Amino acid sequence: MEQVTTPSPAQKHSFVRKTNNIGERIIERCVKIIGGVAVVLIFLILLFVLREALPLLMGAFSQPRTAQSSVESSLSDTLNLKPEVYNPDVILSEHQAPEEFAPEVYNPDVSVPATILAEKVNTRNEADGDHITLANILGTIWQPVSTMPKFGIMPLVIGTAKTTFVAIFIGAPLGILAALYAAFFAPRRLREVIKPMVEILAGFPSVVIGFFCLLYVGSALQNLFGFDFRLNAFVGGIGLAIAVIPIVFTITEDTLSAVPKSLLEASLAMGATQWESAYKVMLPAAFPGVFAAVLLGIGRAFGETMIALMATGNAAMVSTSIGDPVRTFSATIGAEMGEVIWGSAHYSILFFLGVLLFIVSFTLNAVTELFVKERLAKKLQGG
């Protein structure tokens, strides 16, 4: 080794010089900012869905509105470009704003030209009337498009509850039992088949499931049970169950395989049979996970749109029979948002339904995350 390196003092101490690696820092900063996008997205979703629903909420809890207040709130409705200010007076004073668009987005001076405003106000007055009271919203009639629109969400609540119930009642046991089978009873070869099979089921777009129910399940069940209507809550529930099964199966299966194998071995060693170990030892050990699976399944069934839209019959009626057609929250949004006048009361109430959907899904998820998963971790790891 002839190359004997004798580092000069400068070279020796080169690590002291703090290399101000600007590129590295910029990249790091960018990654951090983008990393927070999911959090921002949650807030944006809540904010913007709520924002479109807000005018209605403000009006809904007051007396039937006067013509003046109706104009005010519809005006503020129209000015979607300005989220932070909700001050009708300011907006009204801008009523004579010049008919040109200023460059800045957030500038309150920028308003929709007066002519457009006037138009909006007109259509608005025709469309909604002054009937959006709390009583109206809690009513039992959903008739958003009529001269006397009724926005009673009770039929939708009942409809959503019925389909969700059917979906979970059918989907959850199937998913859990299939997961148990895959984990404990299936021969190795078969297990390798079951998982991809469920993945195929999970890969079906919901519109395809809806189509399948529309074409086959409806008629089949009508022949079987003699329903009065071909499409009804039960058919929709089955469609939703098809969407729920993969979720319940996957999460249950994951949890079951996370339970230490030693537990199963211990149970078997004590003379318990395979099925006793599976049902009495492993399933209880994995219970929080199974519970989480069911909760997420409920969330899916509750929020699913296309299947509900295509297979439930879409009639907003108050009835207790699962053989009657129903209309769910999400299907209502899906079906009516396309034809609604932007900014009208009907438009707002559809967003209000969206807010409810968001709140329920958020709550379900929070319960799963903070309560159930924590508990599972404790149970499986001790402590």
Partner 1 sequence: MSTKRLIGIFAIGAATVAVIAIAGLVFSTMGTFLVKGLPNITWQLLSEAPRNNNTEGGIFPAIYGTTLLVLVMSILGVPIGTITAIYLNEYTRAGAVMPRVIRFAVNTLAGVPSIVFGLFGLGFFVQFLGVGLDKTFGNTEAIWAKPALLWASATLAALTLPVVIVSVEEALKNVPQEMREGSLALGATRWQTIWKIVLPNSTTGILTGSILAIGRSAGEVAPILFTGVVYSLPQLPDGISSQFMHLGYHLFVLSTQSPDVDKTLPLQYATTLVLLMLTFTLNFAATFIRSRIRSKQFR
Partner 2 sequence: MSKKITETKIEANDLCVYYGAKQALHRISIDLFEREVTAFIGPSGCGKSTFLRSINRMNDLVPTARVTGNLYIDGVDIYHSSVDVVELRKRVGMVFQKSTPFPKSIYDNVAFGPRLNGITDRTELDRIVEESLINAALFDEVKDRLDSSAMGLSGGQQQRLCIARAVAVNPSILLMDEPCSALDPISTAKVEELILELKKQYTIVIVTHNMQQAARVSEYTAFFYMGHLVEYDKTRKIFTNPSKKETEDYVTGRFG
Q: Are residues 328 and 156 in contact, defined by beta-carbon separation less than 8 angstroms?
A: yes
Among partner 2, partner 1, none, residue 18 binds (CB under 5-8 Å by kind): partner 2
Residue 29 CB, shortest distance to partner 2, in Å, is: 17
Burial class (CB in 10 A: 0-12, 13-18, 19+), 190: exposed
Q: Is 7 in the site for partner 1 (CB under 8 A)?
A: no
Binding partner of residue 376 among partner 2, partner 1, none, CB cut-off 5 to 8 Å per kind = none
Q: Between residue 132 and residue 151, which ones bind partner 1 under the rule CB under 8 A?
A: none
55-114 binders of partner 1 (CB under 8 A): 80-81, 83, 101-105, 110
CB closer to partner 2, 3 vs 320:
3
CB of 340 to partner 1, least distance (A): 9
Q: Does 253 help bind partner 1 (rule: CB under 8 A)?
A: no
Distance CA 165, CA 126 (A): 38
The footprint of partner 2 (CB under 8 A) covers 1, 3-5, 7, 12-19, 21
What, of partner 2, partner 1, none, does residue 17 touch, CB below 5 to 8 Å by kind? partner 2
Distance CA 358, CA 42 (A): 10
Say whether 321 sits in a helix, a strand or coil.
Answer: coil
DSSP E strands, the chain: 142-143, 150-151
Binding to partner 1 (CB under 8 A): which residues in 313-372?
330, 333-334, 337-338, 342, 350-351, 354, 357-358, 361-362, 364-366, 368-369
> Which amino acid, residue 304?
E
Q: Which parts of 205-244 interact with partner 1 (CB under 8 A)?
A: 205-208, 210-212, 214-216, 242
Residue 32 Cβ vs partner 2, minimum distance, rounded to whole Å: 17
Q: State residue 229 phi and psi, 5-degree precision.
A: -115, 140
Looking up tokens 């009523």 gives 95
Closer to partner 1 by Cβ: residue 233 or 245 = 245
Provide the minimum distance between the beta carbon of 377 and partner 2 in the complex, in angstroms, as a whole number: 19
Is 245 a binding residue for partner 1 by CB under 8 A? The answer is: yes
Residue-wise DSSP of 343-383: TSHHHHHHHHHHHHHHHHHHHHHHIIIIIIIHHHHHHHH--
Eight-state DSSP code of residue 143: E
Structure tokens at 326: 């129903």
Say how far apart CA 219 and CA 226 lie, in whole Å.
10
Residues 151-180 that bind partner 1 (CB under 8 A): 173-178, 180
The nearest distance, CB 137 to partner 1, in angstroms, is 18
Tallying the residues shown for the chain, one arrives at 383
Report the distance separating Cα 150 and Cα 138, nearest Å.
10
Residue 13 partner contact from partner 2, partner 1, none using kind-dependent CB cut-offs of 5 to 8 Å: partner 2
Residue 104's binding partner out of partner 2, partner 1, none, with CB under 5 to 8 Å set by partner kind? partner 1
